[in-house]
Amino acid sequence: MLRKSVLICVFAMGCTGSSAEPFDVNVTWSIKDFATGEVGCPAAFPKVRVIAQGLDEYNTDTGSPFVNSFDCAAGSATVTVYGVGTVEREVDGQSQSEETTGRYALTVQNTGELGETIHGESLPYVVDIAEGKTTVTAPISPGGNYFLLGWRLENAAGEHPSCEALGVSDVEIRYRTAGTSDPLTTDRFACASTHPPLTAPGEDITGFGVSSPLAALQSYEGQVVALDASGAVRGQIDTSFTVQPPGYAPYDITNVPVTVPINP
């Protein structure tokens, strides 16, 4: 489960200064209501709030988050974060000094005019200055939930070589509501993908990715399929899972670890 931190410092109101180098992060958002399919910013929720929460090497929150507010209709914005060093700023009316690592979990929320109500929010995305990850595209699906698919490739000897060693380029999960003949939904990921890297669905996982938004409290069934660069199937396995309702955060990610046997 991914928990959101309490919002403390509104950056636009004057977080005062820094000895660490500032960096711009380009953020783009979009909103699509899960139940109705309506696209765009609802009239009752004309703002977005971008939250950049510092992380340490273990993905644990550090310091107070940097928070910026923008007009939702703008669709994109630039926010400032800091590299490794010390940041001096005003938090909750008091000056304080914080160590920064250059690594952040960035979340976008769609809110009311004054930020008093959260209509929906994106999943967290990692910004890592050292790795050059300073661009975030954050879809928001109010009412939707997700599962985190993790895949581990396994050869005939029971070993777990890399995607490249096994000739696997992409991994697809094809699924429908359990017990129905509904059309299959397909989510496709690069085999070595590790997004978002805040939560992993188990040890020795080759890669993982987040599904399309789904209805909670429903069970799904389908297959996880490993594909080579030409799209040919290198291995597949049946799977089933249940998407859980939200808990501490608007989105609760259900972990689905799967071992996919690869054909010789």
pLDDT tens figures, 231-256: 999 999 999 988 876 543 444 556 77
pLDDT of the residue at 248: 38
Could you identify the residue written with the tokens 């929460």? Answer: 53
Tell me the average pLDDT across 163-191: 95
13: which DSSP letter?
G
**Strand 135-140 with 22-31, pairing:** parallel
Q: Give the model's pLDDT for residue 195.
A: 66
To the nearest whole number, what is the mean pLDDT of the chain? Answer: 84
Q: Where are the domains of the chain?
A: 9-140, 146-261
Q: The pTM is what?
A: 0.75
Give pLDDT, residue 112. Answer: 94
Distance, CA of 189 to CA of 169 (rounded, Å): 9
Enter the tokens of residue 126. 């990692």
What do you get for the CA distance between the two ends of the chain, in Å?
A: 37
Q: What is the CATH number of domain 146-261?
A: 2.60.40.10
Tokens 């160590």 belong to which residue?
A: 99
Mean pLDDT of 82-103: 86
pLDDT confidence bin for 203, thresholds 50/70/90: low
C-alpha distances (whole Å) from 104 to each of 13, 51, 128, 134, 187 are 20, 9, 6, 10, 26
Say if 9-140 and 146-261 have the same CATH topology: yes
The CATH classification of domain 9-140, taken from the options 1.10.287, 2.10.70, 3.40.50, 2.60.40: 2.60.40
pLDDT band at 263 (very low <50, low <70, confident <90, very high): confident
State the average pLDDT over residues 102-121: 92
